[in-house]
């Protein structure tokens, strides 16, 4: 039996990975797709958003087709969770055409790909390709890697620069491992900024790696699948900052806190409170579900920096509590302080 192709979707926090996967699931063109979600945080926002797509086979429940990991990055928990999860998926390989793996925003892609060299996985699955999702607006504003021109000047002056923050190194490693880069939120920047971002990416990316602009994850499905790259066999051509380390560690100061309350919020007022909160705390990402007064549908809220997006994804179910559930990802976050800022 042929190897199941696995597509790894990586990218920084809030870049649009889950939106991309939702679009892929909703436009699967008859493919039977299993999805493995790795989240940073405990509420399980991404997995629930994907399950709500309702595109699984009639004899397959969404809960069985989507496997969600919630206790850390794949590259840190690969021994404990990724291996048994893949083993379970591979038992059903006759009912799966491909597997999508969404890494957390803090996961390094290369250690995950290396796991596909394990004989128990290698004989049944292969990494078809790595997609790296990049937020064009954030990159243009320098919120991920600082000022683009200054960063480029530093690299020109010192090719062995070792002063990157862990987040900057992570971003570079995600680019270095990519087979294709998807540039999101291009409609939110002007043409001059977009040209600047594309030129910078072209210098950072390995030769031959293309950049494709997309909005709301809307990309031709055939463009995203079928790379046949067998990435695990060619990792030496995808250098990273951590190639010579036996183990890598994420920034221990980065954590997540969650807010779960039986309270409804007016969207405008809530977003204003969140914008005020991110001005006083180093918060990289906010995501979750909101109970809106007098609305029969659940609101999905996602925020990066001072930018917030929201939409109503489905009706509240009769057997589920109408709760507001938010996950905050940032540096040295305190759950009590976050709760006080939102509820007071």
> pLDDT tens digits for 67-121?
665 555 454 455 456 777 788 888 888 888 888 998 876 677 888 888 899 888 8
Co-location of 11 and 86 in the same domain:
yes
| Within a domain: 246 | no
Same structural domain for residues 141 and 278? no
In a domain, 242, yes or no: no
Q: What percent of the chain has pLDDT over 70?
A: 78
Whether the predicted model's global pTM rises above the 0.85 cut:
no
248 domain residue, yes or no? no
Q: Could you give the CA distance from residue 216 to residue 16 in angstroms, rounded to a whole number?
A: 8
Query: Could you read off the pLDDT of 27-66 as tens digits, one per residue?
Result: 888 888 888 887 666 567 777 777 776 554 444 445 556 6
**CATH number of the domain bearing residue 130:** 3.40.50.300
**Does 227 score more than 80 pLDDT?**
yes
Residue range 178-185: mean pLDDT, rounded: 93
pLDDT in tens, 153-164: 544 554 433 434
pLDDT at 189: 92
Domain boundary residue, one of 237, 264, 283: 237
Distance in angstroms (rounded) separating the CA atoms of residues 288 and 261 = 12
| Cα maximum dimension of the chain | 61
Query: Is pLDDT of 126 > 90?
Result: yes
Q: Are residues 219 and 275 in the same domain?
A: no
**In b/e form, how buried is each residue of 19-44, taking b as 16+ CB within 10 angstroms?**
bbbbbbbeebeeeebbbbbbbbbebb
- Whichever domain contains 332, its CATH number is 3.30.1220.10
SS3 label, residue 299: strand
More confident residue, 281 or 44: 281
Cα torsion through 86, 88, 90, 93, rounded to 10: -140
Percent of the chain past pLDDT 90, that is, above it, reads 32
Range of the domain at 258: 254-343
Cβ count near 280 (within 10 Å): 9
């Amino acid at each position: 039996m042929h190897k199941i192709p696995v597509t790894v979707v990586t990218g920084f926090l809030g870049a649009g990975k889950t939106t991309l996967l939702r679009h892929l699931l909703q436009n699967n063109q008859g493919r039977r797709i299993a999805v493995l979600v790795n989240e940073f945080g405990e509420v399980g926002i991404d997995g629930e958003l994907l399950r709500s797509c309702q595109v699984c086979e009639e004899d397959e429940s969404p809960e069985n087709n989507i496997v969600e990991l919630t206790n850390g990055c794949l590259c840190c928990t690969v021994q404990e969770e990724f291996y048994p999860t893949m083993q379970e998926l591979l038992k059903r390989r006759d009912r799966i055409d491909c597997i999508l793996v969404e890494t957390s925003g803090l996961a390094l892609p290369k250690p995950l790909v290396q796991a596909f060299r394990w004989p128990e996985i290698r004989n049944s699955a292969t990494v078809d390709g790595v997609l790296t999702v990049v937020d064009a607006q954030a990159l243009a504003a320098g919120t991920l890697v600082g000022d683009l021109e200054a960063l480029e000047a530093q690299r020109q002056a010192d090719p062995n620069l070792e002063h990157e923050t862990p987040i900057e190194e992570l971003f570079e490693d995600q680019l270095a491992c990519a087979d294709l880069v998807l540039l999101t939120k291009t409609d939110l920047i002007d043409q001059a900024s977009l040209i600047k971002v594309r030129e910078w990416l072209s210098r950072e990316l390995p030769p031959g790696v293309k950049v494709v602009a997309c909005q709301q994850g809307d990309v031709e499905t055939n463009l995203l699948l079928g790379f046949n790259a067998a990435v695990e066999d060619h990792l030496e051509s995808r250098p990273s900052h951590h190639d010579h380390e036996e183990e890598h560690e994420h920034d221990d100061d980065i954590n997540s806190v969650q807010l779960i309350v039986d309270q409804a919020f007016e969207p405008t007022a809530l977003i204003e409170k969140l914008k005020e909160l991110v001005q006083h705390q180093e918060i990289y990402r906010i995501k979750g579900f909101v109970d809106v007064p007098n609305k029969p549908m659940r609101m999905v809220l996602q925020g990066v920096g001072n930018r917030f997006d929201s939409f109503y994804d489905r009706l509240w179910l009769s057997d589920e509590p109408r709760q507001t559930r938010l996950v905050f990802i940032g540096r040295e976050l305190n759950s009590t302080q976050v709760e006080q800022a939102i509820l007071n």
